[in-house]
Amino acid sequence: MAENASGKIKNDIKITCGQNAVVFCVKVLPASSRTCLAGVQNGILKIKLSAAPEKGKANKALVDFLADTLDVKKKFIAITSGLTSKVKQIAIEQITPEILIEKLKSVL
């Protein structure tokens, strides 16, 4: 998956531009052995989280991980839908689609 993701991540992940934000979907795999990017599947970025899916711990861990990975402040990252679902829609301000792609390619 990493080979495919690094070469074609822009074509694989579905990114839209909302109001002053880049919007995309992630599939969260909570309670994993470690927190990391797990690739792209059907246009959705897969992220493994070591946090458990209880009392918002996985959502907080997701925002923390994205902030660290993309070098964006946490206040600019919002989970716009799917708070209790494994598939979530993320909106990130202060980043362009091109920068998002480059940062994801560097860690996949």
Q: What are phi and psi of 8, to 5 degrees?
A: -130, 25
pLDDT of residue 12: 84
Q: How far is CA 95 from CA 7, 9, 56, 80, 91, in A?
A: 21, 17, 25, 16, 10
Q: What is the pLDDT of residue 90?
A: 97
The list of the chain residues with pLDDT below 70 reads 1-11
Q: Which residues contact 49 (CB under 8 A, 6 or more apart)?
A: 28, 29, 30, 31, 32, 35, 58, 61, 62, 65
According to the model, what pLDDT value does residue 9 have? 58
Pairing of strands 21-29, 44-48: parallel
35 is written with which tokens?
């927190």
pLDDT on residue 64: 97
Match domain 2-107 to its CATH number in 3.10.20.440, 3.20.20.80, 3.30.1200.10, 3.50.50.60: 3.30.1200.10
